[in-house]
A and B are shown apart, each in its own frame.
Chain A
Amino acid sequence: MRFLSTLRLPRGLNRSAHQGPPPCDCVSPPPRQQRRLAKTFVASRGLLLPVVALALWSIVAALHLVKSGLLVSPLAVLQTGWQQTVSGALLRALSASLAREASGFVIGTVGGLLLGSLLGFSRIARRMVGPSFDTFKQISLFAWIPLISVWFGLGDAAKVVFLSLAALLPVTAHTCDGIHAVPRSYIEVARAFRYSRLQLVAHVILPAALPSIFTGLYLALIYSWLATLGAEYLLVSGSGIGNLLIDGSEQFRMDLVLFGIIVVGLTGWALNALARRAERALFARRPFGAS
């Protein structure tokens, strides 16, 4: 609890606030170095659990404690991964999945930005479309897949339609919210300065709505990655990382499944990191303070 440590209270009252290592009374290193040391210590503590789990897994697998074909050693997973990478199967699957994700994300985002700004700017449009949109949003996205498969087949077209839908919903909702929630005072100031409509939008509303819009884009990126997997599961055709997982599961190859899960996790993490970096770069020169 950060706020606990900022309090300056008598020692007796503050006793329970100490967590982690007790403060040492010896000659302390300069604060910067100390902080770096503390940081590495914290990071290394986070590694303990995975290392223990990995060790346990290796030991159980090496000693054949469990008689099951499903228990593969970490080494086998690594070998499978190497094979998949060298043979190009991984690259093919990953690039097919990511290409679909990218096209679905772009289509859905463009549609979501347009629809969201229409809903955000026009009170009448919000009143007419908003409730229907909210109701539509409540229906589980994946429930649409069977219908989409009837309308668009099992190929890439159906998948991209589904992914665009997955990206469209959060972008629309957050764009509309962001534009709608611009503080009235900002608009009044702009009015007082006789901003034209275009100026108002370009210099006041869009910058103020940007964080919310960006949240929508960020969610869209994550949702469309989830939807990519879902689409590959439920519209089984072509290649993709989801098909790799299904193949592994159908052939009872736990090593392939585990490798696929690792790839999925790493890709999700990379997309996350990408979005965060973009957000930081974008908001480094924001005209408005954090609001």
Chain B
Amino acid sequence: MSDTAISLAATASGNSCARRIARAWLRSAAWHVAPWLLPTLLLALWTIGSERGWIAPQILPPPARVYDTLVELARSGDLASHTLISVQRVLVGFGIGTLCGFALGAGLGLSRTLEAYVLPSFNAVVQIPVLGWLPFLLLLVGVGEPLKYILIAHAALVPVTLSTLQGFRQAPATLDEVARGYGYSRWQRIVHVVLPAAVPTLATGVRLAFTKAWLALVVVELVASSEGLGYLIVNGRQLFQLDLVMAAVVVVGAIGFVVNHLLDSLEARLRRGRPSAFRE
């Protein structure tokens, strides 16, 4: 009798063990599937809604048509040419803005005198958003490429300048003291103490600058442009081709998403690759 009791207990525990493993497996599967639930649900609703005629295609074209439009745009080469123009604008504007921002931020960060003279004016100018400058620049330089470069550069300049200024001010006092003890020159201290300490803040600034630059690009192209992704959106809207609008929005979102992830991983790598003295 005691034997049967033991064997019964053994099978029961074996059963519950298997059940527990199954449950854990299910839970982990649900955990991995969960992020896809919402997009899938929305897509399903969208598809079914447009098939059944709940949603008028003038309001929201069916996903298949958006996809077809996207493929067609890609095949005809229009997508590539518009994307290339947009990317080129962002790269030029972002490059100019980031470089000027580094220079300005470094100047302000290293010299209290310069800061006292320039920072108040800088702060005042920053209060005016990119869109506020648009009509002013439109009158001043016209609708050409310089307008886009200036606005995108301005959008990127502000975060880079502020984060460079902040980054240059946050070198640990102890490290600076050590550097002085070793008789480092001012230049050596900047290169070996101030800059390494500023790297993470700079990286954050650059990432933020890209987000702002991409936003500025879309705005400028929506308002004043005859080519580029933003123009595709406006054009589609004017022709009431919402499939074109959505296709272009998808591309804008995808590029922003990919570049942001790249910059994210770059930032993480920069943080990890620093000398141990500078890690938090």
Chain A contacts to B: CB under 8 angstroms:
1-4, 6-7, 9, 13-14, 16, 19-20, 42-43, 45-50, 53, 70, 124, 127-132, 135, 138-147, 149-151, 225-226, 229-230, 233-234, 242, 245-246, 248-249, 252, 254, 257-258, 260-261, 264-266, 268-269, 272
Out of A42, A226, A248, which one reaches B131, CB within 8 Å?
A226
B266: min CB distance to chain A, Å: 16
Contacts of B223 in A (CB 8 A): 233-234
Nearest-CB residue, chain B, relative to A46: B120
Asked if B34 and A127 sit within 8 Å, CB to CB, the answer is yes
Contacts of B25 in A (CB 8 A): none
Complex: A2 Cα to B191 Cα, angstroms: 19
Spot the interface stretch: B4-12, B77-85, B97-105, B111-119.
B111-119
Contacts of B248 in A (CB 8 A): 143
Complex: A229 Cα to B58 Cα, angstroms: 28
If A70-B140, A257-B139 touch, whether A233 touches B218 (CB-CB below 8 Å) is no
Spot the interface stretch: B44-52, B199-207, B234-242.
B234-242
Complex: A124 Cα to B33 Cα, angstroms: 11
In the complex, 14 of the A-B residue pairs with CB atoms within 8 angstroms, ordered by the A residue number, are A14-B180, A130-B35, A142-B218, A144-B249, A150-B59, A225-B129, A226-B129, A245-B134, A245-B135, A249-B135, A254-B139, A264-B129, A264-B132, A268-B129
Asked if B252 and A245 sit within 8 Å, CB to CB, the answer is no
Out of B135, B183, B219, B234, which one reaches A260, CB within 8 Å?
B135
Given A3-B176, A16-B186, A135-B253, 19 new contacts (CB under 8 A): A3-B171, A7-B180, A46-B119, A49-B117, A49-B118, A138-B257, A139-B257, A140-B214, A141-B215, A143-B218, A147-B246, A150-B58, A229-B129, A230-B219, A261-B135, A264-B129, A264-B132, A265-B125, A265-B128
Asked if A46 and B117 sit within 8 Å, CB to CB, the answer is yes
Contacts of A242 in B (CB 8 A): 131
Contacts of A53 in B (CB 8 A): 121
Contacts of B110 in A (CB 8 A): 1
Complex: A286 Cα to B39 Cα, angstroms: 40
Asked if B37 and A128 sit within 8 Å, CB to CB, the answer is yes
Asked if B35 and A128 sit within 8 Å, CB to CB, the answer is yes
Q: For residues 162 through 200 of chain B, which have their beta carbon under 8 Å from a beta carbon of chain A?
A: 169, 171, 173, 176-177, 180-181, 183, 186
Asked if A146 and B236 sit within 8 Å, CB to CB, the answer is yes
Nearest-CB residue, chain B, relative to A146: B237
Contacts of A7 in B (CB 8 A): 173, 176-177, 180
The yes or no answer to B151 lying at the interface (CB within 8 A) is no
Out of A20, A139, A248, which one reaches B135, CB within 8 Å?
A248
If A7-B180, A150-B59, A264-B129 touch, whether A258 touches B136 (CB-CB below 8 Å) is yes
Asked if B128 and A261 sit within 8 Å, CB to CB, the answer is yes
Asked if A140 and B129 sit within 8 Å, CB to CB, the answer is no
B194: min CB distance to chain A, Å: 9
Complex: A88 Cα to B139 Cα, angstroms: 26
